[in-house]
Chain A
Amino acid sequence: MKCEEYISIIEEYMDGELDRQTALGVSDHLAVCRECADFCDSVRSEQQLYAHYRRDVEVTPAIWASVQERIRAEKVAISPDQVSRLRERKPVSLKWFAGLLSTPRFSPALAVALVLIAVALTAVVMSYLQSNQPATQESIVATGNSNAGTSATGNGNANQSDDPKDRKDKIADIDTTPQPEKAESTQPAPRPQRVVKREPTPEQLVREAEQKYLAAIAILARDVKRRRSRIDPFVAAQFDAALADIDHTIAETRRAARENPDDPIALQYMLTAYAKKVDVLREMARN
């Protein structure tokens, strides 16, 4: 081997990463080559310099106190019963839940109207899916109409996005229920067909809720962008870390919701993740 080749592996030699035979070869060469031995000495000197490096950081008791506080909060937030129930239902659900809880807790107050609508839609979807009873079709219709009263545009979107191509069997079954007869038997109103046509499916309601959250997030993100320069960099970094967590959770929950469109837990986690992001952005906008 030439000196250049030895030079190229001297750092690995110093790191103890060479196999025994190669290391012995380098050692023998260093004993007879002044130039390579000098380079080896310079690497050693650097390492000694780095060993003296001191950082402006220490492990303070406050760090453990905060860790302990958060761990205890986790224990309260997820009781053993909840954990076992989640595990029984769907193992990956626990991971999403943990991801949601890992984000900082902010004020639960919701002031954005879009978010209120999204929450209402979420509640409707969850109550429907959790009941898992086709007989509740009427209640869905009724609640869907009350939401329409809250948001005319939302109702319009639901009508326009009535695309049955990717519905699952359960939803398809609901859609094929003889609704006009049902409507007539429970509500002798003169216009049963109008109710059937405007009836949003759970999937549409989820999509609508998601759109509301995305709209709220877009509005808040613009506010945050405008005010960013006024936010303390440290605080901003904390918010950014929280947003990174939430975005990761949103991505995971969206994927899970796509794979399990009729699982209320999956849908609930997805919408909760959006709600978390709204909370964080609102806190940032306030700063």
Chain B
Amino acid sequence: MMEASTLVGQPSGRAGTLMNSSEEWIARARRGDDEAFRLIFDRYARPIISFIYDMVGQRELAEELTQETFVRAYKNLNALRDESKLSTWLFGIAKNVARESLRYRFREDGKVEIEDDRVMEMSDGRLLPDSELLNKELNGVIRDALGALDEDKRMVFTLKIFQQRSYEEIAEITGFSIPKLKTDLHRARAEMRRRIRPYLGVGYEV
């Protein structure tokens, strides 16, 4: 939600008043207009890279797979039937790209070890100095808990909790049935809850 709301409006600022809808960007990109495709990239790159990062757990790999996602999207723009579902369609491609990468990773259970690098400040981050340490620690806990989920649960959890997708959209992106994704989401929440419980109501101010 944060990412989407932050990004809305950025493309129109870049392009002026003539291009202000995804449908129009798609139409122009299909005709080979790179600038129109760049507007699509600008709007969706942040949620897509976040989703891929949550899935694969490595920054550089996430960057690489984000590139791959948008290149595939560009090449297959004509396959997008419903322009109003551009976002869901892009997440579907990102899911495929991430899964293909994970399939050849070393661990076969779908769990990943997410890099424990320094947490970067986002441009809209407003962290209080006295809570920064706890935030970093909590980030580490969430990161580890996410990495410990199996692939399906991690995907559903990320799409719901971090990307604010509806069940219907998650079903479209993942190809899972609604009952399966509900079950996976419930179990993922329970596993995550167990790990972050110590941080609920012990001085962490939200």
> B105 is contacted by which of A15, A49, A101, A240 (Cβ under 8 Å)?
A240
> Which one of A50-58, A186-194, A195-203, A261-269 is at the B interface?
A50-58
> Which one of A24-32, A69-77, A129-137 is at the B interface?
A69-77
A237-B104 in contact (CB<8A): yes
Q: List 18 A-B contacts (CB under 8 A).
A: A15-B166, A45-B201, A45-B206, A48-B206, A53-B139, A55-B119, A56-B118, A56-B120, A58-B122, A63-B66, A67-B71, A70-B71, A74-B74, A98-B76, A101-B75, A237-B104, A241-B65, A243-B104
With a cutoff of 8 Å between Cβ atoms, the chain B residues found around residue A60 in the complex are: 63
Q: Say yes or no for A17: interface residue by CB 8 A criterion.
A: yes
Taking the nearest CB of chain A, how far is it from the CB of B169, in angstroms?
11
Closest residue of A by beta carbon distance from B100: A244
Q: Say yes or no for B18: interface residue by CB 8 A criterion.
A: no
A17-B166 in contact (CB<8A): yes
In the bound complex, what is the Cα–Cα distance between A221 and B70 (angstroms)?
30
* Chain B, 45-65, CB within 8 A of any chain A CB: 45-46, 49-50, 53-54, 58-65
* Chain A, 142-200, CB within 8 A of any chain B CB: none
B200-A46 in contact (CB<8A): yes
Taking the nearest CB of chain B, how far is it from the CB of A228, in angstroms?
9
Q: Which residues in B have some Cβ–Cβ distance to A below 8 Å?
A: 1-2, 32, 34, 37-38, 41-42, 45-46, 49-50, 53-54, 58-68, 70-72, 74-76, 97, 100-101, 103-106, 115, 117-122, 125, 135, 138-139, 142-143, 160-162, 166-167, 182, 185-186, 189, 192-193, 196, 199-201, 204, 206
A52-B135 in contact (CB<8A): yes
A241-B199 in contact (CB<8A): no
B34-A68 in contact (CB<8A): yes
Q: Given known contacts A15-B167, A70-B71, A244-B100, is B49 in contact with A46 (CB within 8 Å)?
A: no
In the bound complex, what is the Cα–Cα distance between A234 and B58 (angstroms)?
9
Q: Which 9 pairs show the lowest CB-CB distances between chains A and B?
A: A240-B104, A48-B206, A244-B100, A59-B45, A57-B53, A56-B117, A67-B70, A241-B101, A70-B71
In the bound complex, what is the Cα–Cα distance between A43 and B200 (angstroms)?
10
Q: Say yes or no for A287: interface residue by CB 8 A criterion.
A: no
A51-B63 in contact (CB<8A): no
14 extra A-B contacts, CB within 8 A, seeds A42-B193, A58-B122, A102-B72: A17-B166, A49-B196, A49-B200, A54-B120, A54-B121, A55-B50, A55-B120, A57-B49, A64-B38, A98-B76, A102-B68, A233-B106, A240-B104, A248-B100
In the bound complex, what is the Cα–Cα distance between A54 and B2 (angstroms)?
11
In the bound complex, what is the Cα–Cα distance between A89 and B57 (angstroms)?
43
In the bound complex, what is the Cα–Cα distance between A8 and B166 (angstroms)?
18
Q: Given known contacts A17-B167, A237-B104, is B67 in contact with A66 (CB within 8 Å)?
A: yes
With a cutoff of 8 Å between Cβ atoms, the chain A residues found around residue B71 in the complex are: 67, 70-71, 74, 102
With a cutoff of 8 Å between Cβ atoms, the chain B residues found around residue A248 in the complex are: 100
With a cutoff of 8 Å between Cβ atoms, the chain B residues found around residue A45 in the complex are: 200-201, 206
B167-A49 in contact (CB<8A): no
